Amino acid sequence: MQRKRGSVSLSLLITGMLLLLAAQLFYLYAGREYEKHQQQIRAEQLRLLCFSAMENLAEESCRDGNKVFTASFYLGDAAAAVSSKVKISEDQCVRYTEITAECGELRQRLRQAYFSLPESVQQQARACGIISGASVIGAEFLPPETLYAGGREVMFPAAEAFAYQAIGELPMETLRLDGLSRRFYYLDDYRGLSFTGGMKVAGSGLIAAQGTISVADGCEFTDQIVLLSEKQIIIGDNVRMPQALLLSRKGIRVGRGCSIGGVLLSGGNIEFTDTVSFSHHEGLVAGFSSFYYIL
């Protein structure tokens, strides 16, 4: 009888210990989940701080390229610091703004890129939608009301100015699936970039390339597009570009049956090989910014 009672007591003790261990494990797990949840909340708060700081950062304070904004906040009982810095190209045409928010070991970083033409070029492009540093060939294929100019000085940033934070590759499959998504791209491959014939490119974006940019027959760009090439831009037949800013160091060639709305600027010849539809959209030279992206 005593042996049976001892066995029961031992069983109860073991059961109690197991329950106690289970409770400890539960509280440990719950504590970790709570801490994880708190970290997620703070990370989201840091993201919101970044967005708020980016939206409120005055453009005038972004001209010297130094750290221009610092502030401290509290996320509950934890201190958070927000700072910003700006990188500007030598010609003042390309600007990258970076906002950093930190709380303990957590850090969120928000960036945005901005591009604008020199003011003198903007003035020219507001008055005239086609400007060549050499000559405009095939102007008879343009609509009668089109204003164009040849022999003008054309200035715009070098492609390298976009290398600092722009994306370094642009696969055609990415374009088909995701479009441009208001991103900046810098392609340092001197072979350039070729858009596949008949493809439809959704979304706006900026592409700066060291090589020639070729747009094959039948391509369509649904939104605002900025193409900058250190060589040539070659547009095939029946291409649709309703909002295009085309910048080429050595020349632009446009095929037949194209419909282009925007501004064409080149240091070389601008050539039209057959009848095209062209409309001047002067607002495209005012500036172009990427979306905010988190790092």
For residues 140 and 265, membership in a common domain is answered with yes
For residues 123 and 260, membership in a common domain is answered with yes
Residue 85: domain span: 2-114
Please indicate whether residue 74 or residue 200 has the higher confidence score (pLDDT): 200
Domain boundary among 81, 114, 147: 114
72 falls in which pLDDT band (50, 70, 90)?
low
For residues 145 and 197, membership in a common domain is answered with yes
pLDDT (0 to 100) of residue 266: 97
Q: Please check the confidence at residue 217 and state whether its pLDDT lies above 70.
A: yes
Query: What would you report as the CA-atom Rg of the chain, rounded to the nearest whole angstrom?
Result: 29
Q: Please check the confidence at residue 3 and state whether its pLDDT lies above 60.
A: no
215 vs 194: CA distance, rounded Å? 6
Specify whether the CB–CB gap between 172 and 199 falls below 8 A. Answer: yes
pLDDT (0 to 100) of residue 129: 95
Residue type (1 letter), 204: S
pLDDT (0 to 100) of residue 108: 86
Specify whether the CB–CB gap between 116 and 103 falls below 8 A. Answer: no
270 vs 277: CA distance, rounded Å? 15
Q: Please check the confidence at residue 1 and state whether its pLDDT lies above 60.
A: no
Residues near 192 by Cβ (< 8 Å), separated by ≥ 6?
A: 209, 210, 211, 212, 213, 214, 229, 231
Determine whether 109 is exposed, middle or buried from the number of CB atoms within 10 Å of its CB (0-12, 13-18, 19+).
middle
pLDDT (0 to 100) of residue 179: 86
Q: Alpha-carbon dihedral of residues 70, 75, 78, 84, nearest 10 degrees?
A: -20
Q: Is residue 294 part of a domain?
A: no
Domain boundary among 85, 114, 143: 114
